[in-house]
Chain A
Amino acid sequence: NAGVMQNPRHLVRRRGQEARLRCSPMKGHSHVYWYRQLPEEGLKFMVYLQKENIIDESGMPKERFSAEFPKEGPSILRIQQVVRGDSAAYFCASSQGNNQPQHFGDGTRLSIL
Protein backbone atom coordinates (compact mmCIF):
# COMPACT_ATOMS: atom_id res chain seq x y z
CA ASN A 1 0.00 0.00 0.00
CA ALA A 2 1.89 3.00 -1.28
CA GLY A 3 2.07 6.06 0.90
CA VAL A 4 1.50 9.64 -0.15
CA MET A 5 3.50 10.28 -3.30
CA GLN A 6 4.76 13.72 -4.18
CA ASN A 7 6.63 14.72 -7.29
CA PRO A 8 8.96 16.10 -8.17
CA ARG A 9 11.15 15.78 -5.09
CA HIS A 10 13.13 18.83 -6.14
CA LEU A 11 12.07 21.60 -8.48
CA VAL A 12 14.13 24.54 -9.66
CA ARG A 13 12.48 27.50 -11.31
CA ARG A 14 13.55 30.97 -12.38
CA ARG A 15 11.67 34.02 -11.19
CA GLY A 16 8.51 34.52 -13.20
CA GLN A 17 8.08 30.88 -14.20
CA GLU A 18 5.31 28.55 -13.08
CA ALA A 19 5.72 25.70 -10.60
CA ARG A 20 3.39 22.68 -10.52
CA LEU A 21 3.60 20.32 -7.58
CA ARG A 22 1.79 16.99 -7.60
CA CYS A 23 0.44 14.83 -4.81
CA SER A 24 -1.15 11.41 -5.02
CA PRO A 25 -2.88 10.52 -1.75
CA MET A 26 -2.81 7.15 -0.09
CA LYS A 27 -5.25 4.63 -1.51
CA GLY A 28 -8.67 5.14 0.03
CA HIS A 29 -7.94 8.70 1.18
CA SER A 30 -10.17 11.43 -0.20
CA HIS A 31 -8.87 14.34 1.91
CA VAL A 32 -5.72 16.20 0.86
CA TYR A 33 -3.85 18.96 2.65
CA TRP A 34 -0.98 21.15 1.50
CA TYR A 35 1.55 22.71 3.87
CA ARG A 36 4.57 24.94 3.34
CA GLN A 37 7.74 24.84 5.40
CA LEU A 38 10.07 27.79 5.07
CA PRO A 39 13.74 27.26 5.98
CA GLU A 40 14.23 26.89 9.73
CA GLU A 41 10.51 27.39 10.37
CA GLY A 42 7.54 25.20 11.21
CA LEU A 43 4.90 24.06 8.77
CA LYS A 44 2.06 26.36 7.80
CA PHE A 45 -1.30 25.16 6.53
CA MET A 46 -2.14 26.25 3.02
CA VAL A 47 -5.22 24.47 1.69
CA TYR A 48 -7.53 21.53 2.40
CA LEU A 49 -9.29 19.74 -0.45
CA GLN A 50 -11.60 16.86 -1.05
CA LYS A 51 -12.28 15.38 -4.45
CA GLU A 52 -13.23 18.26 -6.78
CA ASN A 53 -13.80 20.64 -3.85
CA ILE A 54 -11.71 23.18 -1.97
CA ILE A 55 -12.79 22.97 1.65
CA ASP A 56 -10.49 25.58 3.19
CA GLU A 57 -7.94 27.75 1.40
CA SER A 58 -7.46 30.27 4.19
CA GLY A 59 -3.72 29.61 4.41
CA MET A 60 -2.99 30.08 0.75
CA PRO A 61 -1.88 33.45 -0.66
CA LYS A 62 -4.70 35.05 -2.65
CA GLU A 63 -2.54 35.74 -5.68
CA ARG A 64 -0.43 33.39 -7.80
CA PHE A 65 -1.33 30.26 -5.81
CA SER A 66 -4.04 27.77 -6.69
CA ALA A 67 -4.84 24.16 -5.84
CA GLU A 68 -7.06 21.48 -7.26
CA PHE A 69 -7.94 17.87 -6.59
CA PRO A 70 -9.75 16.55 -9.65
CA LYS A 71 -11.98 13.52 -9.80
CA GLU A 72 -9.23 11.63 -11.56
CA GLY A 73 -5.53 12.13 -10.97
CA PRO A 74 -3.37 13.77 -8.35
CA SER A 75 -3.86 16.97 -6.44
CA ILE A 76 -1.96 19.88 -7.98
CA LEU A 77 -0.54 22.92 -6.22
CA ARG A 78 0.22 25.58 -8.80
CA ILE A 79 2.34 28.66 -8.23
CA GLN A 80 2.38 31.22 -11.02
CA GLN A 81 5.09 33.85 -11.57
CA VAL A 82 7.27 32.46 -8.82
CA VAL A 83 9.40 34.78 -6.66
CA ARG A 84 12.40 34.06 -4.43
CA GLY A 85 10.19 34.02 -1.34
CA ASP A 86 8.36 30.97 -2.70
CA SER A 87 11.45 28.86 -2.06
CA ALA A 88 10.38 26.30 0.53
CA ALA A 89 9.49 22.68 1.10
CA TYR A 90 5.89 21.94 0.17
CA PHE A 91 4.32 18.97 1.89
CA CYS A 92 1.14 17.14 1.01
CA ALA A 93 -0.82 14.98 3.42
CA SER A 94 -3.87 12.80 3.03
CA SER A 95 -6.41 11.29 5.38
CA GLN A 96 -9.55 9.20 5.34
CA GLY A 97 -11.54 11.87 7.14
CA ASN A 98 -11.17 15.33 8.59
CA ASN A 99 -10.42 14.13 12.12
CA GLN A 100 -8.25 11.21 11.11
CA PRO A 101 -4.44 10.96 11.15
CA GLN A 102 -2.77 12.78 8.30
CA HIS A 103 -0.10 10.88 6.41
CA PHE A 104 2.61 12.91 4.75
CA GLY A 105 4.60 12.65 1.57
CA ASP A 106 8.33 13.36 1.40
CA GLY A 107 7.70 16.86 0.09
CA THR A 108 8.76 18.89 -2.90
CA ARG A 109 11.66 21.26 -2.35
CA LEU A 110 11.18 24.30 -4.53
CA SER A 111 14.14 26.53 -5.27
CA ILE A 112 13.75 29.81 -7.11
CA LEU A 113 16.80 31.18 -8.88
Chain B
Amino acid sequence: KQEVTQIPAALSVPEGENLVLNCSFTDSAIYNLQWFRQDPGKGLTSLLLIQSSQREQTSGRLNASLDKSSGRSTLYIAASQPGDSATYLCAGMDSNYQLIWGAGTKLIIKP
Protein backbone atom coordinates (compact mmCIF):
# COMPACT_ATOMS: atom_id res chain seq x y z
CA LYS B 1 0.00 0.00 0.00
CA GLN B 2 1.38 3.37 -1.02
CA GLU B 3 2.33 5.75 1.76
CA VAL B 4 3.57 9.30 1.28
CA THR B 5 5.60 11.16 3.88
CA GLN B 6 6.64 14.78 3.93
CA ILE B 7 9.51 16.18 5.93
CA PRO B 8 9.67 18.58 7.63
CA ALA B 9 6.14 19.12 8.89
CA ALA B 10 6.86 22.82 9.31
CA LEU B 11 9.61 25.16 8.14
CA SER B 12 10.31 28.82 8.84
CA VAL B 13 13.01 30.66 6.90
CA PRO B 14 13.96 34.29 6.21
CA GLU B 15 12.91 35.87 2.96
CA GLY B 16 15.33 35.37 0.07
CA GLU B 17 16.59 31.94 1.06
CA ASN B 18 16.50 28.94 -1.25
CA LEU B 19 14.79 25.94 0.31
CA VAL B 20 13.94 22.30 -0.33
CA LEU B 21 10.83 20.41 0.68
CA ASN B 22 10.98 16.64 0.77
CA CYS B 23 8.47 13.97 -0.14
CA SER B 24 9.04 10.22 0.05
CA PHE B 25 6.84 7.36 -1.11
CA THR B 26 6.99 3.65 -0.38
CA ASP B 27 5.88 2.18 -3.72
CA SER B 28 7.88 3.16 -6.80
CA ALA B 29 4.98 2.14 -9.08
CA ILE B 30 3.48 5.60 -9.39
CA TYR B 31 2.04 7.13 -12.53
CA ASN B 32 2.95 10.66 -11.57
CA LEU B 33 3.72 12.87 -8.63
CA GLN B 34 2.13 16.23 -8.09
CA TRP B 35 3.00 19.15 -5.83
CA PHE B 36 0.22 21.41 -4.57
CA ARG B 37 -0.04 24.55 -2.55
CA GLN B 38 -2.82 25.11 -0.01
CA ASP B 39 -3.51 28.47 1.59
CA PRO B 40 -5.46 28.59 4.87
CA GLY B 41 -9.16 28.03 4.31
CA LYS B 42 -8.62 27.68 0.58
CA GLY B 43 -8.49 24.93 -1.99
CA LEU B 44 -5.44 23.40 -3.59
CA THR B 45 -3.41 24.91 -6.39
CA SER B 46 -1.45 22.53 -8.57
CA LEU B 47 2.16 23.66 -8.85
CA LEU B 48 3.99 20.97 -10.77
CA LEU B 49 3.25 17.48 -12.07
CA ILE B 50 6.02 15.03 -12.89
CA GLN B 51 5.12 11.99 -14.95
CA SER B 52 6.78 8.72 -13.99
CA SER B 53 9.02 8.89 -17.07
CA GLN B 54 10.30 12.36 -16.17
CA ARG B 55 12.99 13.40 -13.73
CA GLU B 56 12.03 17.01 -13.08
CA GLN B 57 9.73 19.89 -13.90
CA THR B 58 10.29 23.63 -13.57
CA SER B 59 7.93 26.56 -13.27
CA GLY B 60 9.36 29.97 -12.46
CA ARG B 61 11.15 29.80 -9.11
CA LEU B 62 9.93 26.25 -8.50
CA ASN B 63 11.69 23.05 -9.48
CA ALA B 64 10.42 19.59 -8.64
CA SER B 65 12.43 16.41 -9.05
CA LEU B 66 11.42 12.77 -9.01
CA ASP B 67 13.62 9.77 -8.25
CA LYS B 68 11.46 6.65 -8.42
CA SER B 69 14.28 4.29 -7.51
CA SER B 70 14.80 5.96 -4.16
CA GLY B 71 11.14 6.84 -3.67
CA ARG B 72 11.77 10.56 -3.34
CA SER B 73 10.64 13.85 -4.73
CA THR B 74 11.85 17.31 -3.81
CA LEU B 75 10.37 20.74 -4.36
CA TYR B 76 13.00 23.45 -4.63
CA ILE B 77 11.91 27.06 -4.10
CA ALA B 78 14.42 29.70 -5.14
CA ALA B 79 14.63 33.18 -3.64
CA SER B 80 11.70 32.65 -1.29
CA GLN B 81 9.16 35.42 -0.74
CA PRO B 82 6.58 36.03 2.02
CA GLY B 83 3.88 35.22 -0.54
CA ASP B 84 5.25 31.68 -0.72
CA SER B 85 3.97 31.06 2.81
CA ALA B 86 1.47 28.20 2.60
CA THR B 87 1.17 24.48 3.14
CA TYR B 88 2.81 22.42 0.41
CA LEU B 89 1.39 18.98 -0.32
CA CYS B 90 2.77 16.22 -2.48
CA ALA B 91 0.62 13.44 -3.87
CA GLY B 92 1.53 10.32 -5.82
CA MET B 93 -0.91 8.71 -8.25
CA ASP B 94 -1.07 4.95 -7.75
CA SER B 95 -2.06 2.20 -10.17
CA ASN B 96 -5.75 2.78 -9.39
CA TYR B 97 -5.41 6.44 -10.42
CA GLN B 98 -5.86 7.49 -6.82
CA LEU B 99 -3.83 10.36 -5.41
CA ILE B 100 -2.11 9.31 -2.18
CA TRP B 101 -1.27 12.37 -0.13
CA GLY B 102 1.42 13.44 2.27
CA ALA B 103 0.39 15.41 5.35
CA GLY B 104 2.08 18.54 4.04
CA THR B 105 4.85 20.94 4.98
CA LYS B 106 3.72 24.24 6.49
CA LEU B 107 6.09 26.90 5.18
CA ILE B 108 6.50 30.35 6.69
CA ILE B 109 8.70 32.92 4.97
CA LYS B 110 9.66 35.71 7.32
CA PRO B 111 10.00 39.22 5.82
Name A's B-contacting residues (CB within 8 A).
4, 6, 33, 35, 41-45, 48, 55-56, 58-59, 91, 93, 98-99, 101-107, 109
Contacts and interface: CB of A to CB of B under 8 A. Distances in A.
Q: Classify the interface of chain B: helix, strand, loop or mixed.
A: strand
A94 B22 CA distance: 26
B43 A107 contact: yes
Could you say which interface size class chain B belongs to?
20 to 34
Nearest to B36: A104
A45 B98 contact: yes
B44 A99 contact: no
A91 B99 CA distance: 13
Given A99-B93, A102-B34, A91 B44 contact: yes
A102 B89 CA distance: 13
29 contacts: A6-B43, A33-B99, A42-B89, A42-B101, A42-B102, A42-B103, A43-B99, A44-B101, A45-B98, A45-B99, A45-B100, A55-B97, A56-B96, A91-B43, A91-B44, A98-B97, A99-B31, A99-B32, A101-B46, A101-B49, A102-B46, A103-B46, A104-B44, A104-B45, A105-B43, A106-B43, A107-B42, A107-B43, A109-B41
Interface in B16-57: 31-32, 34, 36, 41-46, 49, 51
B97 A106 contact: no
B59 to A, nearest CB: 12
Contacts of A93: 44
Nearest to B4: A42
B97 A48 contact: yes
- Residue with the greatest number of chain A CB neighbours at <10 A, chosen from B4, B36, B44, B102: B44
A90 to B, nearest CB: 11
B99 to A, nearest CB: 6
Contacts of B42: 106-107
Contacts of B36: 104
A26 B99 CA distance: 19
